[in-house]
A and B are shown apart, each in its own frame.
Chain A
Amino acid sequence: MTKRKAGVARRVLAAAALLGATALGSAATIGQAAAQEGIYVPLFTYRTGPFAGSGIPIADGMRDYLTMLNERDGGIGGVKIVLDECETGYDTKKGLECYDAVKGKKPVVVNPWSTGITLPLIPKASVDKIPILSMAYGLSASARGDIFPWVFNPPDTYWDGLGIILRYIGQQEGGLEKLKGKKIGYIYFDGGFGKEPIPLFEQLAKDFGFDLKLYPVAPGDMQNQSSQWLSVRRDRPDFMVMYGWGAMNPTAIKEAAKINYPMEKFVSIWWPGEDDIRGTDGAKGFKMINWHGIGTDYPALKDIQKFVVDKGLSKANKDKVGELLYNRGVYNSLLIAEGIAQAQKITGKKAVDGADVRRGLENLNLDEARLKELGLAGFTGTLKLTCDNHNGHRPAFIQQWDGAKWVKITDPIEPMPDKVKPLLDAAAQDYAEKNPGWPKRSEPCDKAS
């Protein structure tokens, strides 16, 4: 070995030793950090990675609403919220790492923002006494509060979403029975989330006599859907339904425009954002489900602008505030804040913990009056959760892209509880049975206050 090379080797060794030492040192400090004053709310976000396009506005919305409460009201019930972002990159490994990192700091609720991260956390929730709020994603069966007391997934499951879409398509055709003989295409993310509605879809196809065509998009091929759309072009379905996420949404919209698929017959679940569709020629007419307002014409959103954005406390660009996914983040934080507020009301404590917030979420009651009080009148429909119903199964409306913005085009449409309930119950029972020793609900149920 030459002298120079030996020198390099020595330096590298020294560097490695130093890194090793810091590794042990910093790992030791984690989790021992003294609990700060306030209610600790970790936010699992993904501002990096392939899903960052959707992750950034959501993260900003969640963060800004809670920051606004801190700035305007000094927190919730006079207790500051301690916000802590943990970057998951939509990666299950990193999500679990985030969970372990925040667990020691007594979080009152976690929002995994990824079905892949939600699933491993579900069994942990009851052990660690940390409720999970997986807002309209995660395990649909967790809507059953009697089996999953620690998991909440309001306001709708993916099955409810499908019910709403089909009801809407039925309306377009003049009644669900008119769907007989029609062809409905389903383009979906070929993973847990996209596959979940298929059993319901197949059953509905049988019940209403329409022909279901499946177009799976593999996770690795989200940006390459030409073969799927070639099949769509061949099959010419009367309607297209999409369950996509991340890069899959803009690609599908572009491909649909390319083959001149009639956009007003293309309906998506609630995940595409403005950035997924803006700038695509021929995307005008595209439709999706949504359950909350867009824009900043609500007092609470105005407060976010006043107390957070204008003070430079937000990470979002000014013009992004009020966009669809930003407001989705706001909605998520609204649920967190209401859960905490309810918990304070029930327990009479100021500094609530995870178990209290679980009770708070279970007694969540966002009625018109409360929404008005929060400065969000008309922002979203009412939502009431109970011990058994951790979802709400709320109606949602359809909105359409007019080339520059989303326009609400229907009144809220009810999901199909009669079709969904049996599936939901079966899935929940199945989960409990396949996990022997799944704990029976031991948490007492608060009488509705």
Chain B
Amino acid sequence: MFYREAGQYKTSYAADMAIFPIRQDRIGIAVILLIAFVIIPVFGNQFFLSSVMIPTLVFSLAAIGLNILTGYTGLISLGTAAFMGVGAYACYKLTSWFPGVNILVWIIASGFVSAGVGALFGLPSLRIKGFYLVVATLAAQFFLQWCFVRIPWLVNYNTSGAIEVPERTLFGVVITGANATPTARYLVLLSVVAALTWFASNLVHGRVGRAWMAVRDMDIAAELMGIRLLTTKLLAFAVSSFYCGVAGALMVFLWYGSAEPEVFVINQSFLVLFMVIIGGLGSLIGSFMGAALIYMLPIVLRMLPAALGLPIASATVEHLQFIIVGALIIVFLIAEPHGLARLWQTGKQKLRIWPFPY
């Protein structure tokens, strides 16, 4: 009734092709941004900000990164955690060499380091596809993980073998280290994630994104149409790793505050891959939905018995949570194999003809 575009006339091609062609969608996105930037920091408590929102945003960004590679370009990767690690270690090295430079600059710069490493490991993608590429990226995961453990230079020879995040400020406000408030960390993280999402959205809707999708749908056909596979695939690897690298740097600097190499193990790669699959391949909003479902749901399930006053031991809750999340993932995949993003699309479609469906 309310959600329909009747009466909204497009007078230019640009308006017709806009990412949010319907006015209600634009209002919707404005409301979401308002909630994210104003309502949540004002009303959310510390736990909600630092243990729910911050991790979810970090994983959303990593999922966007993997989605660019897997969802848009059709190249499956299991090296996400390793590329996140490259970003984190690069950021740590850069900020310890040049402590005076703003940490945000280094967080973005570490994305470029990760992009370089990603492009390097993307080279085999020109010759191999599918499962074989998975194996190649798996090699990247193991090799980089090995480096994180074995090269003490990466952690400035700390005896703990871990990154120890120093204190850094932005406009005089502490944003990393123990003295940073969750609100400050959340707002910085949200700004980076929002900006990079906007950038990714432009990228995938433009020429580059169309080239990626053409390669995904049929690479030989794409090649015949004049898309150069080498540059397209490597660009996908580079951009994807850039996003993962930034996500990794944000994860360690704005969330963990200290990271052992064990943080970047293959399980994390799987976690992000699940987020992408559950959220929806080839969808940015799906990346957010997938991250939210996979990361928030367990927390909610853990909190639920205590909130309801049920006397269930925390270990039992943990077991139950594994069962429930696993079952829900299967239910979601059966109900909608194309992920939450498609479910969202379907929902919007139904809303358009509501309350008189035909």
A residues touching B (Cβ–Cβ < 8 Å)? Answer: 1, 6, 8-13, 16, 19, 22-23, 25-32, 45, 47-48, 85-87, 89, 92-93, 96-97, 100-101, 103-104, 115-116, 119-120, 122-124, 126-128, 139-141, 190-192, 195-196, 199, 218-220, 315, 427, 430-431, 434-437
Shortest Cβ distance from residue B324 to the other chain A in the assembled complex, whole angstroms:
10
Q: Does B307 contact A (CB under 8 A)?
A: yes
Shortest Cβ distance from residue A37 to the other chain B in the assembled complex, whole angstroms:
17
Q: Does B266 contact A (CB under 8 A)?
A: yes
Write the chain B residue with the least CB distance to A1: B346
Specify the main secondary structure of chain B where it touches its partner.
Answer: helix
Q: Does B297 contact A (CB under 8 A)?
A: yes
A9:B336 contact, CB within 8 angstroms: yes
List A contacts of B46 (CB < 8 A).
Answer: 31, 100, 103-104
Q: Return 9 A-B CB contacts under 8 Å, by A number.
A: A31-B48, A47-B315, A87-B302, A87-B318, A97-B51, A195-B161, A219-B262, A431-B159, A437-B167
Q: Does B164 contact A (CB under 8 A)?
A: yes
A220:B266 contact, CB within 8 angstroms: yes
Compute how far the CA of A47 lies from the CA of B340 in the bound complex, rounded to whole angstroms.
32
Partner of B164, one of A29, A124, A127, A434: A434
Q: Does B31 contact A (CB under 8 A)?
A: no
Write the chain A residue with the least CB distance to B167: A437
List A contacts of B274 (CB < 8 A).
Answer: none
List B contacts of A104 (CB < 8 A).
Answer: 45-47
B260:A87 contact, CB within 8 angstroms: no
Determine which residue in B164, B266, B307, B315 has the highest number of CB atoms from chain A within 10 A of its CB, and name it: B315
List A contacts of B317 (CB < 8 A).
Answer: 87
List B contacts of A192 (CB < 8 A).
Answer: 160-162, 260
B residues touching A (Cβ–Cβ < 8 Å)? Answer: 44-48, 50-52, 55, 96, 99, 149, 156-162, 164-167, 177-179, 255-263, 265-266, 296-297, 299-300, 302-304, 306-307, 313-315, 317-319, 322, 331-332, 335-336, 340, 343, 346-347, 350
A120:B257 contact, CB within 8 angstroms: yes
List A contacts of B315 (CB < 8 A).
Answer: 45, 47-48, 85, 87
Determine which residue in B51, B55, B350 has the highest number of CB atoms from chain A within 10 A of its CB, and name it: B51
A116:B335 contact, CB within 8 angstroms: no
Shortest Cβ distance from residue B56 to the other chain A in the assembled complex, whole angstroms:
10
Write the chain B residue with the least CB distance to A47: B315
Compute how far the CA of A87 lies from the CA of B317 in the bound complex, rounded to whole angstroms.
9
List A contacts of B178 (CB < 8 A).
Answer: 123-124, 126-128
B261:A436 contact, CB within 8 angstroms: no
With A6-B346, A22-B304, A28-B48 known to touch, is A434 a contact of B158 (CB < 8 Å)? yes
With A27-B47, A92-B260, A92-B263 known to touch, is A119 a contact of B162 (CB < 8 Å)? yes
B347:A13 contact, CB within 8 angstroms: yes
Compute how far the CA of A28 lies from the CA of B53 in the bound complex, rounded to whole angstroms.
12
A26:B300 contact, CB within 8 angstroms: yes
Write the chain A residue with the least CB distance to B180: A127
Closest 10 CB pairs of A and B: A47-B315, A123-B178, A120-B258, A192-B161, A87-B314, A26-B303, A26-B307, A100-B51, A31-B47, A119-B258
B149:A127 contact, CB within 8 angstroms: no
A436:B307 contact, CB within 8 angstroms: no
List B contacts of A139 (CB < 8 A).
Answer: 159-160
Partner of A29, one of B159, B307, B314: B307
Compute how far the CA of A19 lies from the CA of B297 in the bound complex, rounded to whole angstroms.
8
List B contacts of A11 (CB < 8 A).
Answer: 335
Partner of B299, one of A1, A27, A47, A116: A27
Shortest Cβ distance from residue A109 to the other chain B in the assembled complex, whole angstroms:
17
Compute how far the CA of A31 lies from the CA of B303 in the bound complex, rounded to whole angstroms.
11
List A contacts of B45 (CB < 8 A).
Answer: 27-28, 30-32, 104
B300:A100 contact, CB within 8 angstroms: no
Partner of A12, one of B99, B162, B260, B332: B332
Compute how far the CA of A11 lies from the CA of B302 in the bound complex, rounded to whole angstroms.
23
Write the chain A residue with the least CB distance to B52: A27
Compute how far the CA of A45 lies from the CA of B313 in the bound complex, rounded to whole angstroms.
11
With A101-B47, A190-B149 known to touch, is A123 a contact of B314 (CB < 8 Å)? no
Shortest Cβ distance from residue B107 to the other chain A in the assembled complex, whole angstroms:
18
B299:A120 contact, CB within 8 angstroms: no
B346:A127 contact, CB within 8 angstroms: no
Compute how far the CA of A139 lies from the CA of B340 in the bound complex, rounded to whole angstroms.
43
Shortest Cβ distance from residue A34 to the other chain B in the assembled complex, whole angstroms:
13
List A contacts of B304 (CB < 8 A).
Answer: 22, 26
Compute how far the CA of A8 lies from the CA of B322 in the bound complex, rounded to whole angstroms.
23
List B contacts of A123 (CB < 8 A).
Answer: 164-165, 177-178, 257-258
A22:B314 contact, CB within 8 angstroms: no
List B contacts of A97 (CB < 8 A).
Answer: 51, 55, 299
Write the chain B residue with the least CB distance to A198: B159
List B contacts of A89 (CB < 8 A).
Answer: 318
List A contacts of B47 (CB < 8 A).
Answer: 27, 30-31, 100-101, 103-104
Compute how far the CA of A29 lies from the CA of B340 in the bound complex, rounded to whole angstroms.
27
A12:B258 contact, CB within 8 angstroms: no
List A contacts of B307 (CB < 8 A).
Answer: 25-26, 29-30
List A contacts of B255 (CB < 8 A).
Answer: 96
B149:A191 contact, CB within 8 angstroms: yes
Shortest Cβ distance from residue B305 to the other chain A in the assembled complex, whole angstroms:
10
Shortest Cβ distance from residue B201 to the other chain A in the assembled complex, whole angstroms:
23
List B contacts of A93 (CB < 8 A).
Answer: 55
Determine which residue in B47, B265, B303, B331 has the highest number of CB atoms from chain A within 10 A of its CB, and name it: B47
Compute how far the CA of A139 lies from the CA of B45 in the bound complex, rounded to whole angstroms.
30
List A contacts of B156 (CB < 8 A).
Answer: 434
List B contacts of A116 (CB < 8 A).
Answer: 162, 260, 262-263
Shortest Cβ distance from residue B153 to the other chain A in the assembled complex, whole angstroms:
13
A30:B303 contact, CB within 8 angstroms: yes
Shortest Cβ distance from residue B105 to the other chain A in the assembled complex, whole angstroms:
18
List A contacts of B159 (CB < 8 A).
Answer: 139-141, 196, 199, 427, 430-431
List A contacts of B177 (CB < 8 A).
Answer: 123, 435, 437
Known: A13-B343, A30-B306. 8 other contacts (CB 8 A): A27-B48, A30-B45, A30-B307, A31-B48, A48-B318, A119-B260, A120-B257, A128-B178
Compute how far the CA of A116 lies from the CA of B350 in the bound complex, rounded to whole angstroms.
47
Compute how far the CA of A434 lies from the CA of B177 in the bound complex, rounded to whole angstroms.
13
B52:A430 contact, CB within 8 angstroms: no
With A23-B296, A100-B47 known to touch, is A9 a contact of B164 (CB < 8 Å)? no
Compute how far the CA of A45 lies from the CA of B315 in the bound complex, rounded to whole angstroms.
8
